[in-house]
Amino acid sequence: MAKKKLKILMVASEAVPFVKTGGLGDVAGTLALELSKAGHEVVLVLPRHYAIDPARWDLKVRLSPLYVHMGNTTMFAQVFETKLEKLTCYFVEYEDYFGRHPLYDDGLDGYKDNGARFAFFSKAALDLAQAVGFKPDVVHVNDWQSALVPYLLKTWGFEGDFYKKTASLLTIHNIGYQGIQPDLSLAPLIGLNWMQLRPEEFESFGGLNLLKGGFFYSDHITTVSPTYALEILGEPGGNGLSTYLERRKSDLSGIMNGIDTDEWNPALDKLLPARFDAKNLAGKAVCKAELQKAFGLEIDPKKPVFGLVGRLADQKGLDLLQACIHELLSWDIQMVLLGTGNPSLESFFGWLPGAYPGKFGSYIGFKPELAHLIEAGSDFFIMPSRYEPCGLNQMYSMTYGTLPIVRGTGGLNDSVQNCEEATGAGTGFVFWDISAGALKDTVGWATYVWYNNPKHYKKMQARAMAQDFSWKKAVKGYEEAYQKAIERRAGWF
Ligand code: ADP
């Protein structure tokens, strides 16, 4: 039987290729496009942030004005439209709210009116789909910024029966961000009454928690890996929301993100000095030599190079590396690091190459082409994350024949198979303790395999390069999740 094609409204506060600050933007944009390629009718709605240049994306006015009813007032927005292949993209234009940069904060603190901005956006997304006559089977919302949408759908009856059968699915990209409002001043604007102002729904310590309300009203909930789905059902992973999520446990699933296989493919990667694949690794040796040169390391194919790319943030566990780095660098290994973030980690890792010339190299900054060279030229890749909802770098590493060394959390646990000492099975090295000792021992184990068991290293490398991290699997996972949402919606009322 042919699979039913769905009408999907993807609502997100950011999406590639238009504007992105993190994983949410990667997933929303790529997934919307992939679903449309799979034959679904998909409409993506974003705010028209001022970082999105109308000329660059050929934005055309679609609706002017769009009436958005909020509480007792009607606001007037505009809607722009563009196409990405078969994907229709709408942008809600409202200068007071989206005519600013950065997207969510002034560089230090979140904007004071973030709640009002994204409540407006959530309402506008539904008003606009109704205005253009796009009646979705399912609305897919992402993180707290659009978590009000499931509530609006279930109470839309006041505005007609357009969304009577529409289901909703909420994806949690990072439960650390919840859209917490310090008081109840937003409640009248979004039509919350005493029923919704209880802790089971939106109320939270005298204010509102928009993500929590989303848990209550959405028909299905997903997060970006099966292990993260388990971690957020408890504390500290749930960031205080685990009891509320627990009530929706049977409607929660974890779906790993895919990677962009056009951008991250060692056989086609134009950012590398040479290309390679699993059958011919000569290009990888060229990349390694180039990497050693770029970071001022001793150029020697026999020395194992450990790479690291990422935000220097508490989440990424780089303080663990800092705590054992001197011991690691007393061994016959080399290490390179690319990252920005925490100033004290920046100054430590920026200083380190001076203390270990020829052995340790770093670049403090954001440089995508260098990230590609590190993935391709390293032999191992280190990710000691405290938590990692999905993680992309470990998947890039395996694709590039670079064995990841990871803490077994979230998507790292789901995508890296641990080495088996006796047989050489596995695609990387996994440790579980959040401790410098566990990290040090695991880097030591990888170093041992490199020097003493090259056959096992080769076997693991071939297995890592054969993994399928494309979006195909994820698209299938979301199709199943949409069906679950639709079935549950049918039984609501
Ligand atoms: P997160 O989204 O938590 O930052 P991920 O592993 O999911 O972590 O994705 C990080 C992405 O950002 C990867 O594509 C990585 O290569 C890229 N990246 C992170 N830091 C840098 C940097 N300093 N320079 C270039 N690319 C970077």
Q: What angle do CA 372, 374, 379 make, to 5 degrees?
A: 125
Atom of ligand 1 nearest to the CA of 316: 3
Tens digit of pLDDT for each residue in 235-254?
A: 999 999 999 999 999 999 99
Give 414-423 pLDDT, tens digit per residue. 999 999 999 9
Considering the entire predicted model, what is its pTM? 0.94
Give dist(CA 259, CA 472) in Å, integer.
10
Q: Write the residue with the smallest CA distance to atom 24 of ligand 1.
A: 366
Pocket test for ligand 1, best of 366, 381, 388 (most atoms within 8 A of CB): 366
Which residue's CA is minimally distant from atom 3 of ligand 1?
Answer: 391
Distance 371 CA to ligand 1 centre (A): 8
pLDDT above 90 coverage of the chain, percent:
92
235: enclosing H helix or E strand: none
User: For 204-232, what is each residue's pLDDT tens digit?
Assistant: 999 999 999 999 999 999 999 999 999 99
Tell me the average pLDDT across 445-463: 98
Which ligand 1 atom is the nearest neighbour of the CA of 22? 2
Q: How far is Cα 24 from Cα 43, in angstroms, rounded to an integer? A: 17
Which residues touch 361 (CB under 8 Å, ≥6 apart)?
Answer: 294, 295, 296, 297, 334, 335, 336, 337, 353
Each residue's pLDDT tens digit, 55-75: 999 999 999 999 999 988 999
pLDDT at 2 over 90: no
CB 255 within 8 A of CB 227: no
Residue pair 85/76 in contact by the 8 Å Cβ criterion: no
Annotated binding-site ranges for ADP-alpha-D-glucose: 20
Q: What is the DSSP string of 35-56?
A: HHHTT-EEEEEEE--TTS-TTT
383 CA → ligand 1 middle, Å = 11
Q: What is the arithmetic mean of pLDDT over 117-129?
A: 98
- Closest alpha carbon to 312 in 357, 359, 348, 351: 348
Q: Of the residues 174, 309, 385, 397, which should be mutated to test ligand 1's pocket, given the most ligand atoms within 8 Å of the CB?
A: 309
**CATH 3.40.50.2000 location in the chain:** 7-258+472-490, 282-465
165-208 pLDDT, tens per residue? 999 999 999 999 999 999 999 999 998 988 899 999 999 999 99
Of 311, 349, 370, the one to substitute when testing ligand 1's pocket (max ligand atoms within 8 A of C-beta) is 311
What is the rounded (10 degree) CA torsion for 111, 113, 117, 120? 170
pLDDT band of residue 436 (cuts 50, 70, 90) is very high
Is a pLDDT exceeding 60 seen at residue 1? no
Determine the Cα–Cα distance for residues 219 and 150; give it in Å rounded to an integer. 8
pLDDT digits (tens, 9 = 90+) for 335-352: 999 999 999 999 999 999
Mean of the pLDDT values across residues 428-439? 98
Q: What percent of the chain has pLDDT over 70?
A: 99
Q: Which CATH architecture has domain 7-258+472-490?
A: 3-Layer(aba) Sandwich (3.40)
Q: Which of 374, 392, 397 to mutate to test the pocket of ligand 1 (most atoms within 8 A of CB)?
A: 392
Unique residue bearing structure tokens 């102002």 = 197
Query: Per-residue pLDDT tens for 255-313?
Result: 999 998 888 999 999 999 999 999 999 999 999 999 999 999 999 999 999 999 999 98
pLDDT confidence of residue 262: 86
Higher-confidence residue: 262 or 453?
A: 453
**Distance from the alpha carbon of residue 369 to the mean position of ligand 1, in angstroms:** 12
Whether the pLDDT of residue 159 is over 90: the answer is: no
Q: How far is the CA of 190 from the centre of ligand 1 (A)?
A: 35
Residues with Cβ within 8 Å of residue 45, at least 6 apart in sequence: 9, 10, 11, 12, 89, 90, 91, 92, 125, 128, 129
What is the sign of the dihedral through the CA atoms of 233, 153, 144 and 254? positive
Q: What is the mean pLDDT of the chain?
A: 96
How far, in whole angstroms, is CA 478 from its chain's centroid?
15
What does the CA dihedral 375, 296, 447, 437 come to, rounded to 10 degrees? -90
Q: Is the pLDDT of residue 22 over 90?
A: no
Alpha-carbon distance of 126 to 238, in angstroms, equals 29
Q: Give domain 282-465's CATH superfamily.
A: Glycogen Phosphorylase B; (3.40.50.2000)
Ligand 1 centre to CA of 226 (Å) is 21
Residues annotated within the binding site are 20
User: What is the position in ligand 1's atom list of the atom closest to the CA of 174?
Assistant: 3
pLDDT of residue 234: 97
Show the ligand 1 pocket: residues with CB < 6 angstroms: 22-23, 309-311, 338-340, 366-368, 371, 391-393
* pLDDT for residue 493 is more than 70: no
The pLDDT value given to residue 382: 98
What are the angstrom distances between the C-alpha of 259 and each of 89, 223, 472?
22, 16, 10
